[in-house]
Amino acid sequence: MTVTASVPRTPRAATLRKQEAILAEAERQFARFGFEGVSLDSIAAALELSRQNLLYHWPSKEELYRAVLDSVMDEWLANMNAITQAGEPRAAIQAYVADKLRFSRERPSGNAVFTREMMAGAPRYADVLKAQVMPLLHADVARFERWADEGRIRRLDFMHLMFLIWSSTQAYADLGAQFSLYMGKPALDDADFERARGLIVNLIWRSLAV
């Protein structure tokens, strides 16, 4: 008897749209209220779905939460190769800082979910960080080390340099509302992000230039 292997069906467009809507609403709620402050019922109610309908796509709050973080992480990791793929250190820093600031501006709620998880000690996402982020971070540090060996930049603690870049760019997502309040405007605009980019890049490059 011949056994025909079953082929997984591609989700229909309507299913994908519903999943995207669920992820977007979950991201908004997790960003505002944190993991403990959100329920599947609150997400379903906001989308006018039944709890059972939501459970069809994600069987638990934990899985939905990790799916949100996976989405954030996938977008972030897609832009983490600016340093390892660059041939010139200043251009690498310019591209990396620009990408991080753009991500902070375009996806503040995703950044907020990520920040909440990190501030709690990454209890639900440490395994992904170790598996996916650590290798890329060490590759970036190694790239800086090679540039230093070649005499193209000053030798610093490059691990902490990366932390400095992350924190200075992440602040424009986490503290954007605070910054705009102090500047007397409803929200940070393109010019604010461009000035931030120029300042961060110049400060970092001054510390590296030989």
- Of 44, 67, 90, which residue constitutes the final position of a domain? 67
Residues 6+ away with beta carbon under 8 Å from 154: 148, 207, 208, 209, 210
Q: Are residues 61 and 127 in the same domain?
A: no
Q: Are residues 77 and 27 in the same domain?
A: no
Q: What are the Cα distances from residue 169, in Å, to 6, 129, 149?
A: 47, 19, 27
* pLDDT for the residue numbered 7: 53
* pLDDT for the residue numbered 72: 94
38: in domain: yes
Stretch 162-175: mean pLDDT, rounded? Answer: 94
Give the dihedral of Cα atoms 66, 68, 72, 78; nearest 10 deg: 70
Q: Are residues 46 and 146 in the same domain?
A: no
Range of the domain at 160: 70-208
Whether 80 has a pLDDT exceeding 80, the answer reads no
* pLDDT for the residue numbered 13: 87
Whether 10 has a pLDDT exceeding 70, the answer reads no
Stretch 45-59: mean pLDDT, rounded? Answer: 94
* pLDDT for the residue numbered 11: 63
8: in domain: no
74 against 81, higher pLDDT: 74
CATH code at 144?
1.10.357.10
Per-residue pLDDT tens for 21-45?
A: 999 999 999 999 999 999 999 999 9
210 against 10, higher pLDDT: 210
Whether 172 has a pLDDT exceeding 90, the answer reads yes
107: in domain: yes
53: in domain: yes
Residues 6+ away with beta carbon under 8 Å from 62: 124
- Of 67, 86, 108, which residue constitutes the final position of a domain? 67
Q: Are residues 44 and 139 in the same domain?
A: no
Q: Which tokens belong to 75?
A: 């977008």
Using 50, 70 and 90 to split pLDDT, how confident is the model at 171?
very high
* pLDDT for the residue numbered 89: 95
1: in domain: no
Q: Are residues 97 and 191 in the same domain?
A: yes
Neighbours of 124 (CB within 10 A): 14
> Are 119 and 178 contacting, i.e. CB atoms less than 8 angstroms apart?
no
3 against 92, higher pLDDT: 92
3: in domain: no
Q: Are residues 25 and 55 in the same domain?
A: yes
Q: Are residues 82 and 153 in the same domain?
A: yes
Q: Are residues 103 and 187 in the same domain?
A: yes
Q: Are residues 82 and 149 in the same domain?
A: yes
Q: Are residues 130 and 44 in the same domain?
A: no
Whether 74 has a pLDDT exceeding 60, the answer reads yes
5: in domain: no
State the Cα–Cα distance between residues 102 and 138, nearest whole angstrom: 23
Q: Are residues 84 and 95 in the same domain?
A: yes
* pLDDT for the residue numbered 145: 96
99: in domain: yes
Q: Are residues 99 and 196 in the same domain?
A: yes
**Count of domains for the chain:** 2
Q: What is the mean pLDDT of the chain?
A: 92
Q: Is 165 helix (H, G, I), strand (E, B) or coil?
A: helix
Stretch 62-73: mean pLDDT, rounded? Answer: 96
Query: Which helix H or strand E contains 115, and what residues bound it?
Result: helix 108-119
* pLDDT for the residue numbered 70: 95
